[in-house]
Amino acid sequence: MPTAFHIVVCAGIVPDPLQSLEPVMGPAGPALKNEMLLPAVLDPWAASALYEAAHLAATNPGSKVWLVSMAPKAKLQQVMMTVAQKAAFELVAVDGPLGGFIDAHATAAALADAISAIPGLDRTKLLLFGGWESASRGAGVTLQLIGERLSLFDQFQGVDQITVREDGSFEVLERVEGGQHQVSICSGAPALLGWATGNLPEPRSNPQVGMANMRTVMPALQKAKPAAVAAPGLHYDAAQLPAQQRQTRVEKDMTPEDIARELVAWIGAE
Amino acid sequence: MEPILVLTHADETGATLTRASLEAVSAGQALAHRLSAPLVLGVVAADAAAANALTSTGARILAVTGPDFAQPRYASDAAALEALCRAAVPSIVLAPGSSRFARVAAGVAHRLGGQIDTHITALAGASTLEVTRWFYRQRIEARLHRDGAPWFLLLEPGTNAPFASAAAPATVEPVSVTLPALRTTVSGLRAASAGEQTIRPDAKLLFVAGAGWTKKQSDGQVHAAEAGQIILGFLAKTHASLGSSKSLVDQGSDGQPVLPFLTHMNQIGQTGATPRHPKGLATCCHGEEPHVVGWRFINDRRAISLDPNCGWTRGKADVVYIADAFAVLTRLNELLATQ
């Protein structure tokens, strides 16, 4: 018998990976130059979590997906125009700052409060999803901190697969060192899963799903509460781009034989 | 000053500390010396004998041991680390950024009212502590410090020399843990791909295959099977670790030709790994920024590409060979076979 889950996906938005990033120091700490003007996308690993959540909900009737995201409302609306076509969800928007230099502890507190306030969320059915790390802060701690605040003590990180069993328990594959997965069996919800890549491709955009989602996205954005994410104890002393630029030797005329011989010597050298 | 606590854990044998744990120990020794703070070592292992490797540190050693702590699991590991921290009452907690501790350290910091930063690549500062880490997937480097305690720092594996000393019986203070009801059972490890393991964290060379290996070649045909043989042959001869570009890994879900031994765990870059190896050889990939951020910690970089304007030629590699990787690798394998 299928198990109904209430799946909450935490997902931030990040600059498009193809954009050049330049840090600037301000009175409140570092930020990205022209941050609000940079094209943004849903955080890649969190996007994997959303696609896995949508798939899990589709295969377990009675399940529902919420997408919880904190960003400036205008930026969030821009990203939702694309994301809303990928999977069915109900948006829970938190109006807060963007960027990797925002403190994870304050962010987690704001998101945990937003999740706690979701009407109709059944904590006994809760699966809290998100990316195991973001492409901005990349610390891998926000989801854990939210989990502790919500008393979720079955947590998994670097998840690539969940397989739900008949009795509602599930098997989880987590990435560990050396290209291996740790295999765990959890007796069922509630639990927290920080996703790595998963196994699903990015869904094709579906305008019908997008239109259905947008009926709830716009009201969610309008009523998004501002979040205070100050971290007075956190001090940035510097933020800079790596200085290293290599003097590249480009060999256009070497034969495969010569290249191979040079590489053999290079590989063997200490 | 309040003590510095270094948390360590055993490997899958249960009785030997991991290399990343020993790296954290040496970092903790240096920091404690610099800040004139006492050093306390915490061990999580099935067998208390794991602590024997730490005897010569002369530090106080606390340990949580037993079969419940043989395998990584959030509920039991969080309880163990919380108990060690409450026993040591540290101002700074260092731990390896292993998958085991990365899963639980933030939760433990929250329980203790502390703060946490991860992927720490350097500890600096004379009388105070300042740490370095990367943001935006290794694209921006920042130095920061925090007020308040305890401050948890997960150290990036490979950034410190491991503590090394002859093992001797250690004087260990056992720390008892009251476990919550355990709802998760760890059943073991499973290789991400069938066949030989191609991800080798300790390899001296990273070999990265890009999507060009499965594109049409000069004869107008795709030679994915041959590409696979060449790559596996190279890995067998050099014991290199295999990485991949995202585009090549993604081809499997797009129905295009694939190299069957590649998984998302081989992926290097913005949405993949950032491994540490002394040398790296890229083949048939463009060297664009989302991929190259995964090469941040590869010191000596070479690339083989047919495109003279590829990203590697723009200051991202030390040497770029404009050539057909099929031809070069085939000959390279022949030469390596004669050695």
User: Is B313 within 8 Å of A238 when comparing Cβ atoms?
Assistant: no
Domain for residue A235, yes or no?
Answer: no
| pLDDT average, residue stretch A152-160 | 97
Residue A28: pLDDT band (50, 70, 90) is: confident
The per-residue pLDDT for B73 is: 98
The per-residue pLDDT for B291 is: 87
The whole-angstrom distance between A215's CA and the closest CA on chain B is: 31
The per-residue pLDDT for B125 is: 87
| pLDDT average, residue stretch A151-163 | 97
Domain for residue A238, yes or no?
Answer: no
Domain for residue A250, yes or no?
Answer: no
The per-residue pLDDT for A228 is: 86
CB-CB neighbors (< 8 A) of B316 in chain A: 246, 248
Are B307 and B216 in a shared domain? Answer: yes
CB-CB neighbors (< 8 A) of A130 in chain B: none
Cα-based distances in Å from A193 to A156, A158, A186: 5, 8, 11
Q: Transcribe B208-242 into DSSP letters.
A: EE-GGGGSB-TTS-B-HHHHHHHHHHHHHHH-PEE
Nearest to B98 among A177, A232, A236 (CB): A177
The per-residue pLDDT for A194 is: 98
Among candidate residues B271, B273, B270, B213, the one with its CA nearest the CA of residue B243: B273
∠ CA B195-B197-B199, nearest 5°, is 145
User: Is B322 within 8 Å of A252 when comparing Cβ atoms?
Assistant: yes
Are B161 and B237 in a shared domain? Answer: no
- Contact residues for A73 (Cβ-Cβ < 8 A; gap 6+): A93, A95, A221, A224
Are B10 and B143 in a shared domain? Answer: yes
**Structure confidence by residue, pLDDT tens digits, A69-126:** 999 999 999 999 999 999 999 999 999 999 999 999 999 999 999 999 999 999 999 9
Domain for residue B55, yes or no?
Answer: yes
Strands B39-45 and B60-65: parallel
Percentage of residues of chain A with pLDDT beyond 70:
99
CB-CB neighbors (< 8 A) of A239 in chain B: 135, 140-143
The whole-angstrom distance between A185's CA and the closest CA on chain B is: 5
CB-CB neighbors (< 8 A) of B266 in chain A: 179
User: Is B106 within 8 Å of A259 when comparing Cβ atoms?
Assistant: no
Phi, psi dihedrals of residue A176, rounded to the nearest 5°: -130, -175
| pLDDT average, residue stretch A177-198 | 95
CB-CB neighbors (< 8 A) of A264 in chain B: 332, 335-336, 339
**Structure confidence by residue, pLDDT tens digits, B110-146:** 999 999 999 999 999 888 899 999 999 889 999 999 9
Q: Report the predicted TM-score, pTM, of the whole model to 2 decimal places.
A: 0.91
Domain for residue B94, yes or no?
Answer: yes
- Tokens 């292992």, residue located: B45
Report d(CA A135, CA A144) in Å as an integer.
17
What domain range is A181 assigned to? 6-226
CATH number at residue B119: 3.40.50.620
CATH number at residue A215: 3.40.50.620
User: Is B140 within 8 Å of A21 when comparing Cβ atoms?
Assistant: yes
Per-residue tokens: A188: 């069922």
The whole-angstrom distance between B46's CA and the closest CA on chain A is: 17
The whole-angstrom distance between A25's CA and the closest CA on chain B is: 11
Among candidate residues A59, A93, A52, A75, the one with its CA nearest the CA of residue A213: A93
Among candidate residues B259, B286, B266, B122, the one with its CA nearest the CA of residue B191: B266
Please identify among residues 8-37 of chain A the ones whose CB lies closer than 8 Å to any CB of chain B: 14-15, 17-18, 20-21, 23, 30
Domain for residue A245, yes or no?
Answer: no
The per-residue pLDDT for A23 is: 96
Are B156 and B211 in a shared domain? Answer: no
User: Is A148 within 8 Å of B111 when comparing Cβ atoms?
Assistant: yes
Nearest to A264 among B98, B296, B332 (CB): B332
Are B215 and B150 in a shared domain? Answer: no
Domain count, chain A: 1
The torsion defined by the Cα of B315, B320, B323 and B326, in degrees rounded to 10, comes to -110
Are B47 and B105 in a shared domain? Answer: yes
Among candidate residues A9, A134, A14, the one with its CA nearest the CA of residue A79: A14
Domain for residue A256, yes or no?
Answer: no
Domain for residue A247, yes or no?
Answer: no
The per-residue pLDDT for B292 is: 87
Domain count, chain B: 2
Domain for residue B125, yes or no?
Answer: yes
CB atoms within 10 A of CB B324: 18
CATH number at residue B236: 3.40.50.1220
Query: In chain B, which residue's Cα lies nearest the Cα of A181?
Result: B190
Domain for residue A257, yes or no?
Answer: no
Residue spans of chain B under pLDDT 50: none
What domain range is B106 assigned to? 4-174
- A182–chain B Cβ distance below 8 A for any pair: yes
Q: Is the pLDDT of residue A39 over 70?
A: yes
User: Is B288 within 8 Å of A197 when comparing Cβ atoms?
Assistant: no
- A147–chain B Cβ distance below 8 A for any pair: yes
Domain for residue A255, yes or no?
Answer: no
- A184–chain B Cβ distance below 8 A for any pair: yes
